[in-house]
Structure 1
Amino acid sequence: MSPRIPEQPVIVVGAGPTGLTLACELAAAGVPCTVLERRAAPSDGWRSVALYSRTMEALHLRGHAEELAAAGRPVRRMAVGTAPPLDFGALDSPYPYVNVVPQSTTEEVLARRAADLGVTVQRAAEVTELRQDGDGVTLRVRAARREWEERAEYVVGCDGAHSAVRELSGLTLHGHTYAMAPLLADVHLRRPLPRDVLVLPGRGGVVVSVPYADGSYRLAVARHDHGWRPQPATLAELRAALAATLDHDPDPYDARWLARFKVHQRIVDRYRTGRVLLAGDAAHLHSPLGGQGLNLGIQDAVNLGWKLAARVRGWAPDGLLDSYEAERRPEARRVLAATDRATRLATGTTLAERTARAAALAGLRSPRRRRFATQVLAGLRTDGTDGTSRLGPGARLPHCTLPLPGAAPVRADALMRDGRFLLLDLTADGAAATAAEPWGGRVCVVHTGGPCPELPGLGAVLVRPDAHLAWTSARPDPDAVTDALRHHCGPTPLPATSPHLSLQPATEP
């Protein structure tokens, strides 16, 4: 019997922030999808509470960031030990801060956005089998009272550390698990800590403190002498761990949430096998020091969404879907290496480890190194560039406001809500914009009539749907524009099928 035709383009497994972001990206690009979630209801206890600048920028592209910014608490400084604090307020971003917001709130916002876009989310649906062939992927799904099969052209596993999709598709996490098992808590403090984000290396461990808007704190305590135990964590245990690590006792009370967890340092060897892909914690796990996990997963989803949509809709250039792994896996490896080193430095007890920690903290007394560290944490500096010093392919689109003839200026990223590419013609004659008109169904074409200060020396810029630059030219001619569009946006021009966003100025966050 031949496999039946796929019933839908994409199934996303996992309704956490990574899976919901991916579903929103696909829906914005006109690709229907179903989200299957094993949990019957969202959990109210989460490890991740920080959204960094680059993640907020990515969420803003489709209109998700405003509600999250309103729900969170902006924290503009991070103090690391005795070094001068890192200053997020100096970043070149519309979101120059750490947005402290519970992951459950992030999930709620994204779930509402997904529903508004027509995404179907089915809860209490556990994937138990996976079979793929040349035409699609078949999943066996189990709920409380029934079992059934779902079939799609592609399946993406966004189902976390214990990913069923990863296991059933034969992909394997490689790495190690730390001996220590940190404590995590949402508590009030009778002796409050400063309201910055704090990373406090101490005697044999490290304390991370993140202030919530309601006056409570997210605390994490990791110590070499605290290994994994199956018993539930207690407030008394948290007090003892804090007192053993810090020079004072902040006296926690009223714990809303308290947990013990294992820390892994692992990554899959491949993000894709055939028609099955992985994103977020299903693909990589690392130390939570620095709060990068949730941010890495959301950025995975924004990178993958438009590429998978292009593949489903039939216009993806050769190799586009494979570029998801080529771009995101090295970034995950960089984060794994950085968080592993930071964890070992922060918790080390040997003379060599204490010496290395002191040297690292001394290095942060340099303004240049603090600026670099802040950009790395915020996600604005990858592969050695901050996205502004090198305005070539792969760089991040700088935060810029475009002059428009006869209209109010508009933020460039506000023109990308519908998930299309963005072509900016910064010349006077508009020849590049005219050449791009046949691609209007895939490209939002904007002629500014003049240069943009944040894009110096450029006459035309093609921006990918994830706000990375695809192509730039100082003096574009129509043939070069056409070649770039064929290479990045597919060979067959389509008539414009959807109007570009209203050219009204976006509200500054």
Structure 2
Amino acid sequence: MNSILITGAGPTGLVLALYLARRGVPLRIIDKNSGPGRTSRAMAVHARTLEFYRQLDIADEAVAKGIKVNELHIRGGSKEKGRAELGDMGGGLSPYPFVLSFAQDEHEQFLLEKLKESGIEVEWETELSSFIDEGGYVAAELKKNGKTETVKAAFLCGCDGAHSTVRRGLGLDFHGGTYEHTFYVADAEASGDAASKHDLNMCLGEDGFCIVFPVRSTGLNRFIGILPPALEDRGKPAFEDVAPFIENLLHVKIHGVNWFSTYRVHHRVAGKFRKGRVFILGDAGHIHSPVGGQGMNTGIGDAVNLAWKLAAVLHGRANEAVLDSYETERRAFARQLVNTTDKAFHAIIGQNLTGRLVRTVLIPHVAPFLLGFSTVKKAAFNTVSQIRIHYRDSALSVGKAGKLQGGDRLPWVSGDGIDNFAPLISADWQIHIYGEATEEMRETAGKHNLALYEFKWNPACGKAGFLRNTLYLVRPDGHIGLADSRQDIPKLSNYLSSFGIGQK
């Protein structure tokens, strides 16, 4: 019996498979398509995703394959109305204090290569037709080339997109709606100020907008925008129909197109993310507007959150109670994200007076001015980069010490011989003490087979929110499980025993 069956080989499924493979968990990953996607939309890779990639030892290579976005240019036609320096806008907050432009199709190829290096290959043209949770395992029926195969898996993970077979098989609600606008996306060769090879351009007009990302591998630009109202009722438009509107809005000259597609955007969250031994992740569980480039990054966050829990349970390093926290943690964030991106999206694309003021005054003139202040820039980075995600309401989150609570992402501290993210590459539970651990704490860590890291106290530790000589039990995904200012051994032991952590 394979331990894990993953259906869907987009970024969410690939990261889930890669994480599990690196942890030595047997798995199969299938996809009904003939190969990886070629007409992807996601471009932005945020800091939290790169922090997870550092745990997989692939972050530096991912950064090298993408483009660090240095500046945001806000344009109205041929004129630049505002500019905001992005660069290392999150300096001191993350090892990756920038937004990375890395096209999803190339991103998927990169993940496929890393997965293959781990000994796993995607089974293309293989479709999940049905499944039954038998209590002790999941029985799934797969179809490929007209042949049917029945497999047994300890768990089934549906990473199969907005039209998820797994979600439908579970009978889950998918409440929400569809935005009235149609989006277009194109990889095209263009010339003009808005066709930068290194920066992000946002072009705003009275009736619409277009965002332009640089794509490293092709030297082309990725254009993402709203289909002009005049084309909405003409059926499925060709790029030749849209190109004149792009050229007029951006004042660029388009010389050729690599690919082009149109799509509708939905905003929905599934009623549940888990039933028994079956889970849904990524677009199968939540879809929302493209504001802030959150979709792909959120799916990857789902994958990491679930992967370490599945690996711990299957390796006997935690009991199944930890699996209950997946839905609690990730669905709460998905609902919050859909709500906030929905409001932001309506504010940007609204055709009323408010929408026009946002596009013509607030974004071009006010936003760049505010982003000139370091506190505002860091606050914006905290939000967009997803490093502020916390799980304080989770059963796995206990205690408070200093400014930090159980469930918070472990703040990054670097310098003076310290890099407290370096030990996270183990992707295992560990104890952090910023200062000095007691001898009893060292003995308890050894007893439970937990790595203990003592970091020399310096002002940066206090600035990050840590309390000196305090116990921080860190989860495999870099979030704090338990915080206790007294290094309370009974409290730590009780926490570990509650979830069976460190049993082997």
TM-score range, shorter chain: 0.7 to 0.9
- With normalisation by structure 1, the TM-score equals 0.85
AA of the residue aligned to 2:428: R
Match of 1:13 in 2: 7
Offset at residue 161 of structure 1 (A): 1.7
Deviations along 1:474-509, one digit per CA (max 9) or x if unpaired, are: 331433433343345x16633xxxxxxxxxxxxxxx
8 Å Cα contact 1:181/1:228 also seen in 2: no
The 10-residue stretch of structure 1 (419-428 or 348-357) with the greater mean CA deviation from structure 2: 348-357
What is the aligned partner in structure 1 of residue 202 from structure 2?
Answer: 199
Structure 2 CA distance for aligned equivalents of residues 9 and 384 of structure 1: 27
Q: After superposition, give the CA deviation of every residue in 1:137-193 in whole Å (9 maximum; x if it has no partner).
A: 111111114211121111000011221111222123211111211110111212141
1:142 is aligned to 143
Deviations 1:186-206 (A, max 9, x none): 112121414422333312111
Give deviations 1:408-444, integer Å, cap 9, x for gaps.
x46332323332112123315454232111222xx33
Larger deviation: 463-472 or 80-89?
A: 80-89
Give how far 1:277 is off. Answer: 0.5
Deviation, 1:68, is 0.6
The unaligned stretches of length 5 or more in structure 2 are 76-80, 393-399
Question: Could you tell me how far apart the structure 1 residues matched to 2:351 and 2:401 are?
Answer: 39
Q: Give the distance between the partners of 1:280 and 1:304, measured in 2 at CA.
A: 11
Q: Counterparts of 1:274 and 1:300 in 2: how far apart (Å)?
A: 17
Residue 175, structure 1, aligned to residue 179, structure 2: no
For the 8 Å contact 1:67–1:109, the answer to whether it is kept is: no
Which residue of the partner structure matches residue 233 of structure 1?
238
Q: Secondary structure at the match of 1:240?
A: helix
Aligned to 2:107: 106
- Structure 1 distance, partners of 2:120, 2:339, is 36
Match of 1:326 in 2: 328
CA RMSD in angstroms, aligned pairs only:
2.8
447 and 371 in structure 1: CA distance in 2 versus 1, 3 angstrom threshold:
closer
Q: How many residues align?
A: 476
Structure 1 residue runs without a partner (length 5+): 1-6, 404-408, 495-509
Q: What residue identity is the alignment partner of 2:21?
A: A
Of stretches 44-53 and 387-396 in structure 1, the one that deviates more from structure 2 is 387-396
**Paired position in structure 1 for 2:78:** none
- In the other structure, the counterpart of 1:287 is 289
**Residue of structure 1 in register with 2:18 after alignment:** 24
Q: Which residue of 2 is the match for residue 351 of structure 1?
A: 353
Are the equivalent residues in 1 in contact too, given 2:406–2:480 (CA < 8 A)?
Answer: yes
Shifted more, 117-126 versus 364-373: the winner is: 364-373
* 2:320 corresponds to 1:312: no
3-state DSSP class of the match of 1:42? coil
Within 1, Cα distance between the matches of 2:252 and 2:211?
Answer: 13
Q: Residue 252 of structure 2 aligns with which residue? A: 250
Looking at structure 2, the residues matched to 479 and 337 of structure 1 have their Cα atoms a distance apart, in angstroms, of: 40
For residue 42 of structure 2, give the secondary structure of its aligned residue in structure 1.
coil
Q: 2:431 matched to which residue of 1? A: 423
Structure 1 residue 229: deviation in Å?
6.0
Q: Relative to 1, partners in 2 of residues 1:352 and 1:138: Cα closer, same or farther, differing over 3 Å?
A: same
Q: What amino acid maps onto 1:301 in structure 2?
A: A
Q: Find the counterpart in structure 2 of residue 4 from structure 1.
A: none
Moved more, 9-18 or 141-150: 141-150
Task: State the SS of the aligned residue for 1:454.
Answer: helix
- Are 1:458 and 2:492 matched, yes or no? no
Describe the shift of the 1:296–1:10 C-alpha distance in structure 2 as closer, same or farther (beyond 3 A): same
Amino acid at match of 1:85: A
Indicate the larger mover: 97-106 or 446-455. 446-455
In structure 2, relative to structure 1, the CA distance for the partners of 1:116 and 1:345 (3 Å cut) is: same
CA distance in 2, matches of 1:388, 1:476: 11
Structure 1 counterpart of 2:396: none
